[in-house]
Amino acid sequence: WREENLPEGQPSLQQSTNQACMVEDILDENLLQSALDLRLRRRFIFQQDNDPKHTAKISKEWLQDNSVNVLEWPSQSPDLNPIEHLWRDLKMAVHRLFPSNLMELERCCKEE
């Protein structure tokens, strides 16, 4: 799962390994359209952690080629990332619901 600032406010399920190419696809399919849908135009700053897939050359090039302003982020700083605190709460809430398959897991996450 990944948090995504989608207009519907729902997370997006990704069913493949997290690699730099996948990050590029995610950015391509979601980031700029979400900014347009939210009427941000180019007035936003994109924040992501320093996970290797986010700092890979292909990811950095995509952000630069699409003129995305990126917030510089210190290494080893998950405590500064607000979404990290929410993931724990989501995991606990979903765990209490005992989803038995992927569809139930996705439904539970979206409902929470």
Count of structural domains within the chain: 2
Same domain, 89 and 69: no
Judge if 60 and 101 occupy the same domain: no
Q: Is 97 helix (H, G, I), strand (E, B) or coil?
A: helix
Whole-angstrom Cα distance, residue 36 to residue 16? Answer: 26
- Residues 7, 59, single domain; the answer is yes
Integer-rounded Cα radius of gyration of the chain: 15
Tokens representing 42? 């180019």
Q: Could you list the residue range(s) of the whole structural domain that residue 106 is in?
A: 81-112
Residue with tokens 């700053």: 45
pLDDT tens by residue, the chain, 112 residues: 444 444 444 555 555 555 677 888 888 888 888 888 888 877 889 888 887 878 888 889 999 999 999 988 877 776 777 777 788 888 899 989 988 998 898 888 888 8
Are 50 and 90 members of one domain?
Answer: no
